[in-house]
Structure formats: C-alpha cells, structure tokens
Amino acid sequence: MGVLGSLLLTAVLVVGLPGVASAAAAAPEQAVSADEIAVEPSTVDVPGGPGVGGTVALDTSLYVPSSATAATPAPAVLVAHGFGATKDSVDSDAREIAARGYVVQTWTARGFGASGGQVALDSPDFEVADASRLIDRLAARADVQKDGPNDPRVGVTGASYGGALSLLLSGYDRRIDATAPIITWNNLDQALFPNNAATAALPSDTPARGAFAGDGVFKRGWAGVFFGSVGDPRRSDPARPLTCGRFTLAVCNAYTESATTGRPSPATTALLERSSPSTVTDRITAPTLLVQGEQDTLFGLDHADANARQIAANGTPVSVIWFSGGHDGGAPDTSVRGRIGDWFDQHLRGTAPAAADVPFAYQVQSGVRTRGDTPTGRTVLADAYPGLPGPEASPPVGTQPVAVTGPPQVVVHPAGGNPASITSLPGAGSALSSLGGLSGLGAQPGQSARFVSEALPEATQIAGAPRVDVEVSRIPGQPGGAEAVLFGSVSTRGADGRTTLLGNAVAPVRVAVPADGSPARVTVTLPGVAAPVTAGSSLVVSLSTTDQGFDSGTDPSAWRVGLAGGTGLTVPVVPGRAEAADTVPIWALVGIAIALAAAALIWLVARLRRRREPEATTDDAPPLQVSGLAKTYKGGFKAVRDVSFTVERGMVLGLLGPNGAGKTTVLRMLMGLISPTAGEMRAFGTPVRPGGAVLSRIGAFVEGPGFLPHLSGAENLRLYWAATGRPPEQARMSEALEIAGLGDSVQRRVGTYSQGMRQRLAIAQAMLGLPELLMLDEPTNGLDPPQIHAMRELLRRYAEGGRTVLVSSHLLAEVEQTCTHVVVMHRGAVVADGTVDEIIAGEGGASFGVDAPDEAARVLDGLDGVREITVRGSVVQADLDGLTRADAVAALVGAGVAVETAGPRGRLEDAFLQLVGENGEGNS
C-alpha cells in the first residue's frame, strides 16, 4: 500500500485517540495503582435490532478498581472507541480512568473486531441501543454507585465515532450523568457534505440545526477512506455484495450513491441525520465537556460549536476545549486529558477542583515540535464560550475587521475537476504541514482568486471561524452552470513571503449564480481555527474552484469572483488569560521582593546614565560591529585579543572555538556585563557600554539561565520584564513563548523543570520584546537530540524577517546545520570568519567520491602540494594547498579512477580541526 497509504489508513483506524484521561493529573482520593485494577473480559449478547432479529455478540471488558466494592460502590464510565478500532485501542484510557476509582466499561462496537453484527454508523437502533444494554449491566452490579433502581451513576466518553456515540447515548438514555465527547460531529450529513455559505435567511449562529445551511459538497477523500477501512468481505453475509464489507446495506447503498453522484439523496440525508447528535442535543441534560481538535479536516471546530450552542440552549452545563490536534494532528495532551478526568470527578463525584469548570479553553500552537514530534503551545482560558450566555459586562467574544483587497478575478473549473488543488490529505494534514505541507502546491493556475491584507500592525490571535463577503457572477460567453462550487481558506504571509494555511483546511461553499449575469452575494464562513498571527504578517483569503479532498463536479465553468461591499475579512477574537500558575508560598514572596528591589536599583542607575548620555542609533547600520576587541585581566592574562567581525541583518552567526578560546568573554563584553580593555563594539551604529540604551534592542543569556525555582516560568518572565522598566505591552510575551515552544509548561514551577526546559525558558526570556539582535551562549546545553533539532528550527525562524542571531556553541554539526556564518576563535583571537561554506572550503580542502579510494589516495599522494589525505569509505579527503580541484580530478581520471563527486572537504568539523588542531593546540 505504501507509506502514505498506510499513514492515511492508520489515521482512520486509530481515531479512538489514546489518552482520554490522565492519571498524572490531580489524583483523586480514590486513586488506585495499576496492579489494583481487575480486568474482566466477557461476551455480551444484545438484541439484533430492527430487521436483524436474534442477538449480536459484543466483545467487552470491565475494569474494576480495588476501591470499588459493595460497601463502597463507585461511579462508572463507558469508554467508546473510534471508527475501525476495537476495545483494545482504549485499554490505556480505561486503565487511567479506573485508576481514579471508577468502574470502566469498554466494548468493541458491532461490526468491528471480534464483535458480531454490521456497522450502522452509531444508529440509535443499533450501536446506541447496545450501549444502553451495557448500562443495564452496570446497574446490576453491587460495586457501581446507584442514583435509583436500574440507574447507575455513569458517564461516557470517546473520540470521533465514540464521541458521537457519547452524545447520542446522552440524548437517548437519561441515565447518563456526564459526558465528554472528543473530536466528533454534530450533523453527519453536514460533516460529509459541508456547505459554509451563511445567508441572511440562515446565519451560521442560528441554533436548532447548527452552523450549517444549504446543499453541501461531498467530502469524498475522508468518506472514501472511512468506507474502505471496513471493507472486509470475508466476514459479511455471503448474500450481500462483497463491496459492502461489514456495513449495513443501507449505509453501503448511501455511500455508493454519494460517491457516484456527488450528492446525497433524501434517503441518504435521513440516514446520516439519524446518526447525528443534532437530533438529540435538545434533550441532553448531562453536563457536557466538548473537546475538539484545531487540526481536523474531518470534523472541524464548527461541529463542536453547533453542539455547544444546541446543548446549552437547554440550560445544560457546557464547557468547550479546543486542543492542538485532531484527526490531522494527534491526541489531546496531558492538560486536556487531565481536564476530562476532572470533569468526571466534578459531575460524578463532586470532588474536582474549581479549575475543572472552565467554560472555554483553547490551545495556541507555537510551531515548534518536541519529543515525540508533539506540537507545543499555550492554553488560553476564557470566561465563557463564544455565543453562549455569559456576563453581559464582559462579552466573551469579539470580532476584528481586517481589510483585504484585490480586484475581481476570473477563475476556471476544469472539465472533470482535474487537475485539482491539494491542500491536505485525510488524517495527514498536520504531519504534511511539518514537512512543508501540501499547501505549498497551492491552487492550480487560474483556479484561485486571492485577496490580501496589509501587514498587521500588531499580533492577532484568531479564535473561531473568519468570514468574508464575496460576489460570484457568470462570464458572458463562457461555460457555467446554475451554481459555482468554491473552496475558501485563510493563510498567513510572513515578511519573508512564506505562506501558511491556517488549520490545514478549506471550507467548501455551493453558490447559486443568477443566469442574467448579476452577481450572487454570499458570506463565506471560512475554516474555524485557533491560530496566532504575528505582527508584520498579512492575511490571505483564497477561493479556489477545486480541492483534491472534495467532489467539485465535472462540468467545465468560469466565474468572476470578487469582494462584496468592502466589509473585508471579519476575524473572531476571544479575550482570555493564560492558564493560572500554582500559588506562590509566602517565603517565596520574600525572594520576589528582594529580586524586584535589586532589579529596580539596576534599572534606576541605568536610566540615570542614559539620561546623561543620550545615544542615537542608525537603523541602516549593521546590528553588530566588533573592532580590535581585547580583554586582559589582572596578572596579565589575555582572554581576548584583537577580535574583529561584523554581523549583518538576517544572519545566524556561530561563534566557534575550543574551551578557553574567549567566546563567553566576548559575549559578556557585547552584553555590557564587563568592559573591554581595548577595541570598540557598536550595535546598530551605537557604542555598546554597560547600561547603554541600545542594550534594549539586544536579548541574550550567558553562562546558563538563572531563575527563581518556586515561581512558574511565566512569573519569572513577568518579573524579569518588570525589572527592565519597560511597559508590559512591549514585552510581546505571547510571541516569545510561541517561538520558544514551552507550551503549558510555562505555568509550572521552574523547580520542576528539566535542564532542557530551563534552556527554553532562558530563550523565551532573551526573546522578550522580540529584540533585533539575539545572543545566546551554548543554548543547546542539556538538550536531547529532538530538542536540539527544535532549537535549530527556533533560531532559524527567529532570524527570518531581518532579525539577527549570534550563538556560541561547541556542537559543530549543529552550527553547520543552523548558522549561515561562522567566526572561529582560538586562544582569544579570530582565526577564520565567513560563511559556513567558505570556512568548509578554506585551506584548499577537497573531497572526492571515487570507485577506488585506495588507488585515489595513492594518486593524490604523488601530486605536488597535496597533504593530509584521509580515506573514509568511498570518499577521499585531502588538503590541496594551491592545487586546483579540477587538476586533482584530471589526475585521478588520468590514472583510471572514476570520480563520482568532487567538492569542498564537506564538514565544518574538518575545517575547524584544521584551524585549531585536534587538541585545540593549533597547527604549526
């Protein structure tokens, strides 16, 4: 099937995302150890259902903690698995919830794994009825807490297929006391046939049927992957078509019809809607925690939005979490899983902390991926979910208009809808994005209209679904049917011109276009996202006629697409706060006071000095110029002598040298921590001196980070910034944290940090205010290989857009991969200065890939000036000392040696050792 095919199928088969709850979260008093949980597998016979008759055997397991007894009965939780999976896929989830003291019921849904029956897509007559029978069994157990006869105290959770089952079960079975569905749908018809046009007759915030309107566009990519994943003909009725696998005939026929015509018939719509939580949300009374993924091209944030609005309309308690994952991005992280566990503690036991009852939380990704390729970011808490009842004095949501401009543009839809634009692939959007993404392919030529905003003056956090008003009209004399199908998206465009598709998703819209040539005006609801947009970036709205993941039709057509009315783009924003840190003990406050007093004194002295010595900077001057720099300590020790180099904007410059070369001394002088004995240092054209105003444009840390261990990372950063005396709004803390990629860890006490996390916090501190010049001393100390890789990407990204990075390091391979330029120091002096390629190619070093390395070494050894010949496999390296590489190649070929490659020596390490010697003693 190939790697990509396996990736797509795996995304479907494991949508029961691991980690529903976390034993690492605040453990309740009833918590038990893993070896105190008994697992009881069994086969349970349930009624076959309408038209089936007899019974269907379900493969089930019951997890019973030792704390649950007849004398001390415990609440129960049902854990449902995802589509194509089995009870085994939620084993770890069940054990973690059982470790909190709950009796946990898992099972393999009918049509999957070892269970009998056929897949009916969470039908109330089949899968939902099966779950109710399992609740009956829980009610018969003495170790399960009861609210009444045949009424156990019970919650339900699950992801995707299991999430919809959780909501449907809550609507059909009033015994459910709490539910926590994850990355699931509101209306399955609208999930597979989405339409994102909002009209005056049906605004997208209308309750009842949710945020959906009109006839949708078939999501053929995801639908095909789902249907193909359960196509096992060996376990189906021999009288049934082999192409139906283990699906019911009704589901099989609905898919066949949709894949053939691209539209749902009334019968298909009725079948899909019967499997939709939207049919029961008006009667769900169990407190509901909706967890939805921000990276999800299958069930987007709009589905959680519709569920939240409809359930809350009943007066039912609702909380919403958007997390940095989903069908395209992975499982909820520890903090989200902990909130799910706390939700059950609160509503099944009444024992959860107040922090469990958060109306709305969303995660903001940093773009940095750490151990396990996990995206990092921060969590924002809001006082209410947008659109739901909340404090009138502080509205929970606002909108920010962003002016996007561009003339009306002609777009074409090719016959057959091919070639089509590729924005993402089912289940792989996030993974492909980390590799550069398929969005880089963009729309096919002539198929997309784009409208671009000016650079945003300040950072903006989008939280929700942007909207844009557009007009679509026919072009006289050109083909075009009664309607146009368009795919809307929003991207960011950085100062370097690089674009990023927000959410890795597009929103399809079907627009009825008048035949008389007049324009059809429609408000397009774009994909819901939670995404930071940095200051200086632009927003790009794109409307394309094709997308690989959807059926855009087969007829050729041409349309004129333009902006309507000049309202531009409406961006939703949700005011919130960073997740609160732990309480600081009183003895720690004394340390804070002392640190603040010392910092205030330093700031006051520096400010007075700046008043006496006003400085002027030159914006076109290099960020850093060092000329003849020297430092001699008492006793005559010369740590630095006659160091000179220049750092230009956009550079990532590596300061290299063996221990004792003088690198840290140079950095300390550049930061104004010590004064040089001789020479001059200029930053942006201004002399660098202790307390100088120009230091506010420089961020740095030297000789390791130092933080107050009893404070959280965020509190340490706020304390540091307060000590600078600069206004809080200039800290740009959220942007620094995004780049540093600390995620939720920034709310933990620093005393719990690993060395790598401390390094990240130090990077974030150095980046506060987003200084134009960033200087770091050994930033990768204490980091493991994945963290080093993330740090490398961090430094590159920071330098984008004209900022500059100076990094001192002894990891030559990392410098080679990260830096654009290198300054090599030895015994306090500069021995080489240039680009990485120039340093590698210096000293006449050359590398030859040959078929006979030993013979090649013999030939080179006979040439004048060639020395230090090294054979490494099929590669021969040598110092040519004036002999040109072309002459060396000619000599090798003349001797009968086949030369496959020829280039510089090839490694920074080799050039470094050539400059400073194997032991740092230099070469004679």
Q: Which of 170-174, 360-364, 580-584 has the highest mean pLDDT?
A: 170-174
Does some domain include residue 269?
A: no
The predicted pLDDT at position 412 comes to 92
pTM: 0.60
The predicted pLDDT at position 575 comes to 66
The band of 109, judged by pLDDT with boundaries at 50, 70 and 90, is very high
Does some domain include residue 369?
A: no
Residues 335 and 232 in one domain: no
- Among 18-32, 204-218, 341-355, 463-477, the minimum mean pLDDT is found in 18-32
The predicted pLDDT at position 610 comes to 45
Of residues 693 and 323, the one with the higher pLDDT is: 323
Domain membership of residue 739 as a residue range:
586-614+648-673+690-827
Q: What is the mean pLDDT of residues 829-849?
A: 73
Burial 824-835 (b: 16+ CB within 10 A, else e): bbbbbbbbbbee
Helix 733-740 and helix 755-767, axial crossing angle in degrees, nearest 10: 140
The predicted pLDDT at position 179 comes to 97
Residues 550 and 598 in one domain: no
Of residues 113 and 532, the one with the higher pLDDT is: 113
The predicted pLDDT at position 53 comes to 85
The predicted pLDDT at position 283 comes to 95
Q: How many domains does one find in the chain?
A: 5
Percent of the chain past pLDDT 70, that is, above it, reads 75
Partners of residue 364 on adjacent β-strands: 378
The predicted pLDDT at position 618 comes to 52
Does some domain include residue 367?
A: no
Residues 757 and 842 in one domain: no
Of residues 34 and 167, the one with the higher pLDDT is: 167
Residues 478 and 546 in one domain: yes
Does some domain include residue 778?
A: yes
Q: What is the mean pLDDT of residues 616-641?
A: 79
> Taking phi first (over 0 means left), then psi (-120 to 50 degrees means alpha), and beta for anything else, what does residue 450 get?
beta
The predicted pLDDT at position 716 comes to 84
The predicted pLDDT at position 322 comes to 87
Q: What is the mean pLDDT of residues 592-621?
A: 48
Residues 728 and 610 in one domain: yes
Residues 453 and 597 in one domain: no
- Among 1-15, 99-113, 614-628, the minimum mean pLDDT is found in 1-15
Of residues 86 and 374, the one with the higher pLDDT is: 86
Residues 139 and 247 in one domain: no
The predicted pLDDT at position 232 comes to 57
**Is the CB of residue 81 less than 8 Å from the CB of residue 87?**
yes
Of residues 124 and 502, the one with the higher pLDDT is: 124
Residues 786 and 855 in one domain: no
Dihedral (C-alpha) 586, 587, 591, 592: value to the nearest 10 degrees?
-10
**Alpha carbons 119 and 115: distance in angstroms, whole number:** 11
Position 801 pLDDT exceeds 70:
no
**Is the CB of residue 85 less than 8 Å from the CB of residue 16?**
yes
The predicted pLDDT at position 35 comes to 57
Residues 511 and 554 in one domain: yes
The model's pLDDT over 199-245, given as tens digits with 9 standing for 90+, comes to 322 233 333 333 344 478 888 888 877 776 655 554 556 666 777 77
Residues 555 and 609 in one domain: no
Q: What is the mean pLDDT of residues 336-347?
A: 88
- Among 396-400, 461-465, 752-756, the minimum mean pLDDT is found in 396-400
The predicted pLDDT at position 553 comes to 86
CA contacts within 13 A on the Cβ side of 140: 6
Two structure tokens written together for 409:
């543009």
Q: What is the mean pLDDT of residues 267-296?
A: 92
Percent of the chain past pLDDT 90, that is, above it, reads 24
Residues 719 and 867 in one domain: no
Q: Of 796, 827, 858, at which residue does a domain stop?
A: 827
For 586, residues 6+ apart whose C-beta sits below 8 A from its C-beta are none
C-beta pairs of 785-790 under 8 Å, 24+ apart in sequence: 786/370, 786/371, 786/372, 786/373, 787/370, 787/371, 787/756, 788/814, 790/368, 790/369, 790/370, 790/741
Of residues 161 and 7, the one with the higher pLDDT is: 161
Residues 746 and 806 in one domain: yes
**Is the CB of residue 339 less than 8 Å from the CB of residue 352?**
no
Mean pLDDT of the chain: 77
The model's pLDDT over 245-272, given as tens digits with 9 standing for 90+, comes to 788 889 888 888 888 888 888 898 899 9
Which residue type, as a one-letter code, is found at position 233? P
Q: Which of 203-217, 426-440, 896-910 has the highest mean pLDDT?
A: 896-910
Closest CA to 652 of 843, 814, 838: 814
The model's pLDDT over 505-552, given as tens digits with 9 standing for 90+, comes to 888 999 989 988 899 998 888 888 888 888 788 999 999 999 888 888
- Among 158-167, 542-551, 831-840, the minimum mean pLDDT is found in 831-840
The predicted pLDDT at position 463 comes to 82
The predicted pLDDT at position 126 comes to 96
**Alpha carbons 81 and 100: distance in angstroms, whole number:** 20
DSSP calls for 856-891 = HHHHHHTSTT-EEEEEETTEEEEE-TT--HHHHHHH
The band of 914, judged by pLDDT with boundaries at 50, 70 and 90, is low
Q: Of 792, 827, 862, at which residue does a domain stop?
A: 827
The predicted pLDDT at position 284 comes to 96
Position 701 pLDDT exceeds 70:
yes
Position 632 pLDDT exceeds 60:
yes
CATH number at residue 721: 3.40.50.300
Does some domain include residue 681?
A: no
Does some domain include residue 450?
A: yes
CB-neighbour burial class of residue 691 (10 A; exposed 0-12, middle 13-18, buried 19+): middle
